[in-house]
Structure 1
Amino acid sequence: MKTTFRSVALLLGVGLLPLCANAQKKVIIEDEEPNSIMFVSRDKAGDEIIRIMEDTRLKRFQEPNTPRFLLTDRQGKFALGIGGYVRATAEYDFGGIVKDVDFYPALIPNKGESYVRNQFQMDPTTSTLFLKLVGHTKHLGDFVIYTAANFRGDGKTLELQNAYASFLGFTLGYSYGNFMDLAALPPTIDFAGPNGSAFYRTTQLSYLYSGIKNWKLGIAAEMPAVNGTTTSNLSIGTQRMPDFTASAQYNWAKNSHIRVAAILRSMTYSSEVHQKAYSKAGFGLQASTTFSVTPKWQIYGQLNYGKGIGQYLNDLSNLNVDLVPDPENNGKMQALPMLGWYAGLQYNLTKNVFVSGTYSLSRLYSEHGYPSEDPLYYRKGQYLVANVFWNVTNNLQVGAEYLRGWRTDFNDLTRHANRMNLLVQYSF
C-alpha cells in the first residue's frame, strides 16, 4: 500500500487506538520510497535503536521507560519514540501535615499557621508525556533530541520538564543539573524524594567524556538561579555569571558506581544602603553512590555540603536561603553553610516486587548572628520513608508508602507530620 507523509500523519491521528490494541504486532506502512517510515512496537525495533533508547534514558526512578511505540525509517537508523505514563497518587496526612502534594519537611506549618492535623489529597499531575528522537550518524555518533512535560503548570497545565539535544558527549538545553546523581536517588512514590538530596533542572551546556574505561567525566555551564531572603534595602535580580559544575564517576557494574561533583557560583545582589551591586561566592561538594551488595540488595547514598546552594537542595529550595541578610554588616548579604544527606536500602523480594527505606537530613547553619530576629527560621529537617512496589505487568506499577518528617527551627522547636501514599502508574 503506497502512501505519503500526509497519509502517515492521518494514520497517526485517527488510528492510534487500534494500533495500541495490537501493540505486539509489527505494523509496517510499505512504501517503495527510500524516505518512508514505519510504525512499529518496541520489541520489533532494531537492536541499535533500542540500545540508544536504553543507554540515554534518564536514570531517575520516576522517569519514563523506553517508549512502546516507535516511528522508524526503513533502515531502522532513526526513530521517534512517543511515550510516557499516567500516574495517580492518593495521600493522607495524619498527626501533622505538609502543605504540599510533595513531602517537604520544610513546609510543615507552625501551629500559628495551621491547626489542621489531618489532610487528604489526590495528585495526577506528575503524569508525563515525552517525544524522543534517536539515531546514529557518522559525524554526530549517537544523538538524542528529547522533550518531556507533566501537568504541574498553573491550573494543572502542561509544564516543561526536559528539552535538550545530546550528541558527541555534549548536551544543550533544559534538563537535570549536573550537581546531581539521578541513578543514586532511591525509589519513592513521593515525587520530591529525600529532603537532603540535590535536585534541580536548569538550562545548560554540558560535556560528558566517557573515553576512559569505567569512568565518566563531566563539566557544565548552567543558567544560575538565585533565591534569597530580601529586605527593602536588599534585592536579587540579574546574575552576571553562569554556575560551573564538574563531576567524576567510576562504574564497576551495571547498577554500581561512585560519583563526586562540585559546583561553583557567583551570586549577585543589590544594596540600596551602599547603592551598589555585590557578588557573593558560593560552592558545593557532593559524594554519592549506589551499588548492588547482592542481586537482591541495593544501597543508595549521597552527601552534599556547601555555601549558597540552597536552590539545589530539596528541602532548602523552599526557603530562599541562597543568600540571606548579614546582621553584622548592614546592607550586605551572606551565603550560609548548609548540609544535606541520605542513606537508603532496597531489597528485591521477587523479580517484580521490592521494598525500600531511606533516611535523609537537611541542615542550615548560622553565621554572623543569623537569624537575628525570628527564631522560627528553619534549622534542620528530617525525612524517613518506607515503601513497597509491585510491577504487576511490564507497564503497570502499584505501590504503597509511609513518610514521616520533622522540622526543627533555630529555637529548637520541632514539629512533625506523617503521610501514607498509594500509587497506580501505567506506562505507554
Structure 2
Amino acid sequence: MRHDFAASSLAVAVAACAAFSSLPAQAQSTASAEQLKAELSQMRQQLQQQQQMMQRMQQRLDELESKEAAQASAAPAPTPAAPSAPLVASATGPTPEESRIHRPPSALPATAEPLPEGYVQLGDTGNLIKIDVVAQFDMMFDNKFMGAKDLFVPSSIPVQGQPFHDSDSRSNLSAKQSVFRLDFRRQTDYGLLKVVYKNNFFGSGSGDMPYNMQYLYGELEAKDYSLIAGYYLSAFTDIDAFPNTLDYEGPNSFTFKYTPQVRYSPIVYRAGEGKLTVPMSVEKPNADIAQIGDFETYSRIPDLTLGLRWETPDWHIQWANLFRDLGVQSAIGDEHRNTDAYATQLSFAAGLFDNDSVQAWASYGSGYANFLQDISGFGLDAAFNANTDLKAIDAGGWGLGYTHGWSDNVSSSASYGYLRIDPDEDMLIDPSLPKSTRFASLNLAWQFSERAMLGAEYLWGKNTDLNDNDGEAQRLQVTLRYDLNP
C-alpha cells in the first residue's frame, strides 16, 4: 500500500510540472509581471490543496495499516489443512463391528457385507458405488438322474417305483452361480443409507443363463437401529449361519427365502463388543398349498416375523419366529378355508481357533414348508383333510456345518441336514411327495490367488416319500470362481 501512495504523489508532482511547463513561451515573454504573479499564486494554492489531500490520504493509510496489524496479532496461528478423509470413511460411516470369523475360500460369494475398499464416488452427488462381478463355473457328475440339474436337491431324487430310479450316471456344466452386485451408499442426517442390487442366473426362463434377481433393497443404518425396505432375504433366514458349500442350494433343511418386506431392527442393549437386536418384519405372504378344484391360495394378512439376536465379532445366536395366515377361496360361490401357521428357529455361528468355524440351525412349526430349502414349492404349507377343512402341515428340520482352515487360503467344509414333514393321516396329499430328506457335503477349496478359487465337493442325498419309498444319489462338483471386487 505504501508503494501505491508514493506512485500517487509522483503522479501529482509530474502533473504540476507538466502544467507549468506547458505555458506558451510567447505568453511568458509578453505577459505582464502582474499576470505572472497572479498565475503563480493560483498554482501555489493548487499545490497546497494537493499536499493537504496527500496528507489526509497518508493519515488514512496509517490508520488502516495499524488496524490490520492489530487483527493479525490477535488471530490464532493458522492450522495446517487436515488431509482429506479417505473414500472408505465416506462409504462405511462409523466403524462397524466387523466379524472376526474367518471367511474361507468356499464361502458363498457376494452375500456378506462388502469390504470397505473399492468404492467410487459418483461426481459431486455424495453417492458412492461398488461393483462386484463373480464369474463361476461348475462341473457336476451325478450317479443318477436328478430333477434339479444345476442344484443338488434331495427331494428331486427318484425313489423306488418312480421313473429314473435306476438311471445311468450323467454330467452337467453350469455358470448360473455367477453374480452381478451393485452397492450404493451415502451419508444422511439419519445415518448411512445403502441400496443393494444383486442377481444370479437361476431364473425360471429358458436357456443356460436365465436372469434371477436376488436383492433390490434399501437400508438405513443408524446408531441404534437399522431399517430395510425392498426385496431381500426373509428375516426368518439367518444367512450368517449358512454353511460353506460349493453347491448353491446348500443343506435341505436350511430356511432360505427371498421376499418383498419392510424390516426394523432396533438395538436394545450393548455390552462390550456385543449387541442385542430385536429384528421384526412384515413380508409378502406366499401361501404354498396343494390346490383342489377351483380353489386359489391367498392370505388375509402378511407374514410377520419377530426375533432376538445377540451378536459379537466372534459369534452370534438368533431366535426367530414366524406367524402366517394361510387360506384358499373358491371362484364359485366364494367358499373359503383358512388356517393359522407358525414356526420358530434357533440358529448359531461362531469362529473357532484361527481359521475354523461352526454353524448350526434347527426349526419347527406348522405351515412353513415354503421356507424350507428342499420342499419349497411343493404345496406342503397346508392341505385339505377328509372333511375339506384346511389344516397346516407340521414340519421340522435341523443341520450342522463345520469349516476347518488348513491355512489362510485352503479350507475344508462339511455339512449335514435333515428335514421331515408330519401331515395328519386324513390329509389329502399326493403320496409321492417327500416325507423326509437328508443331505451331506464335504469339500476342499483353494484360494490360489486374491480373486480366484478352485474347489471340489462331494454331495450325498436321500429322499423318502410319504409311502416310505426312498432313493439316494451322489454328486461330485468341481468349481472355478473369479470374484472381481469382494
1:242 equivalent in structure 2 = 302
1:18 equivalent in structure 2 = none
1:128 equivalent in structure 2 = 179
- Tell me if the contact between 1:45 and 1:70 (Cα under 8 Å) persists in the aligned partners: yes
**Secondary structure at 2:240's aligned position in 1?**
helix
Partner of residue 71 from structure 1, selected from 120, 125, 133: 120
Distance 1:74 1:228, change over 3 A: closer
1:158 equivalent in structure 2 = 211
- Tell me if the contact between 2:149 and 2:172 (Cα under 8 Å) persists in the aligned partners: no
Partner of residue 316 from structure 1, selected from 363, 366, 375: 375
**Secondary structure at 1:49's aligned position in 2?**
helix
After superposition, residues 23-42 of structure 1 pair within 5 angstroms as: none
- Could you list the per-position Cα deviations for residues 314-362 of structure 1 after superposition, in whole angstroms to 9, with x for gaps in the alignment? 01204220122212x13x2211100111011111110111101111001
Distance 1:225 1:55, change over 3 A: farther
Whether 1:101 aligns to 2:161 is no
Distance 1:352 1:76, change over 3 A: farther
Stretch moving more, 219-228 or 92-101? 92-101
Whose helix proportion is higher, 1 or 2? 2
Partner of residue 380 from structure 1, selected from 436, 449, 454: 436
Q: Distance in 2 between matches of 1:218 and 1:376?
A: 38
- Tell me if the contact between 2:367 and 2:393 (Cα under 8 Å) persists in the aligned partners: yes
Distance 1:391 1:181, change over 3 A: same
Stretch moving more, 196-205 or 383-392? 383-392
- Tell me if the contact between 1:264 and 1:284 (Cα under 8 Å) persists in the aligned partners: yes
Shift of 1:102: 0.9
Larger radius of gyration: 2
Whether 1:187 aligns to 2:244 is yes
Partner of residue 142 from structure 1, selected from 192, 205, 213: 192
Q: Distance in 2 between matches of 1:206 and 1:421?
A: 36
Using the size of structure 1 for normalisation, the TM-score is 0.82
Partner of residue 224 from structure 1, selected from 278, 285, 295: 285
Distance 1:104 1:288, change over 3 A: same
- Tell me if the contact between 1:194 and 1:360 (Cα under 8 Å) persists in the aligned partners: yes
Q: Distance in 2 between matches of 1:303 and 1:116?
A: 34
After superposition, residues 241-260 of structure 1 pair within 5 angstroms as: 241-252=301-312, 254-260=313-319
**Secondary structure at 1:116's aligned position in 2?**
coil
Distance 1:54 1:425, change over 3 A: farther
**Secondary structure at 2:370's aligned position in 1?**
helix
Shift of 1:48: 4.3
Shift of 1:210: 2.4
Q: Distance in 1 between matches of 2:234 and 2:349?
A: 19
Shift of 1:54: 7.9
- Tell me if the contact between 1:106 and 1:316 (Cα under 8 Å) persists in the aligned partners: yes
1:46 equivalent in structure 2 = 88
Partner of residue 408 from structure 1, selected from 451, 454, 464: 464
1:417 equivalent in structure 2 = 473
2:4 equivalent in structure 1 = none
Distance 1:324 1:342, change over 3 A: same
- Could you list the per-position Cα deviations for residues 370-400 of structure 1 after superposition, in whole angstroms to 9, with x for gaps in the alignment? 357x543311000000011111222111111
2:253 equivalent in structure 1 = 196
Q: Distance in 2 between matches of 1:68 and 1:293?
A: 26
**Secondary structure at 1:162's aligned position in 2?**
strand
- Tell me if the contact between 1:52 and 1:134 (Cα under 8 Å) persists in the aligned partners: no
**Secondary structure at 1:134's aligned position in 2?**
strand
**Secondary structure at 1:237's aligned position in 2?**
strand
Q: Distance in 2 between matches of 1:281 and 1:133?
A: 39
Percent identity between the two aligned chains: 21
Distance 1:298 1:56, change over 3 A: closer
The code of the aligned residue for 1:237 comes to: T
Q: Distance in 2 between matches of 1:199 and 1:79?
A: 30
Using the size of structure 2 for normalisation, the TM-score is 0.72
**Secondary structure at 2:309's aligned position in 1?**
strand
Distance 1:45 1:399, change over 3 A: farther
Distance 1:379 1:84, change over 3 A: same
The code of the aligned residue for 1:163 comes to: L
Shift of 1:76: 11
1:352 equivalent in structure 2 = 409
The code of the aligned residue for 2:469 comes to: L
2:30 equivalent in structure 1 = none
Structure 1 stretches of 4+ with a deviation exceeding 6 A read 51-57
Distance 1:49 1:112, change over 3 A: same
The code of the aligned residue for 2:356 comes to: W
Unaligned runs of 5+ in 2: 1-85
- Could you list the per-position Cα deviations for residues 30-70 of structure 1 after superposition, in whole angstroms to 9, with x for gaps in the alignment? xxxxxxxxxxxxxx74334256798799x983335548743
Distance 1:356 1:98, change over 3 A: farther
Partner of residue 88 from structure 1, selected from 137, 148, 151: 137
Shift of 1:219: 0.5
- Could you list the per-position Cα deviations for residues 76-109 of structure 1 after superposition, in whole angstroms to 9, with x for gaps in the alignment? 9641111121111111101563533111111112
Q: Distance in 1 between matches of 2:202 and 2:170?
A: 20
Q: Distance in 1 between matches of 2:251 and 2:179?
A: 21
**Secondary structure at 1:369's aligned position in 2?**
coil
The code of the aligned residue for 1:220 comes to: S
Aligned-pair Cα RMSD in Å: 2.6
Whether 1:112 aligns to 2:162 is yes
The code of the aligned residue for 2:293 comes to: S
**Secondary structure at 1:152's aligned position in 2?**
coil
Q: Distance in 2 between matches of 1:255 and 1:190?
A: 26
Shift of 1:241: 1.1
**Secondary structure at 1:311's aligned position in 2?**
helix
**Secondary structure at 1:208's aligned position in 2?**
strand
Q: Distance in 1 between matches of 2:281 and 2:255?
A: 16
2:72 equivalent in structure 1 = none
- Tell me if the contact between 2:88 and 2:119 (Cα under 8 Å) persists in the aligned partners: no
Q: Distance in 2 between matches of 1:313 and 1:401?
A: 23
Q: Distance in 2 between matches of 1:281 and 1:239?
A: 10
Shift of 1:268: 1.6
- Tell me if the contact between 2:401 and 2:414 (Cα under 8 Å) persists in the aligned partners: yes
Whether 1:61 aligns to 2:103 is no
- Tell me if the contact between 1:100 and 1:107 (Cα under 8 Å) persists in the aligned partners: no
Q: Distance in 1 between matches of 2:110 and 2:216?
A: 14
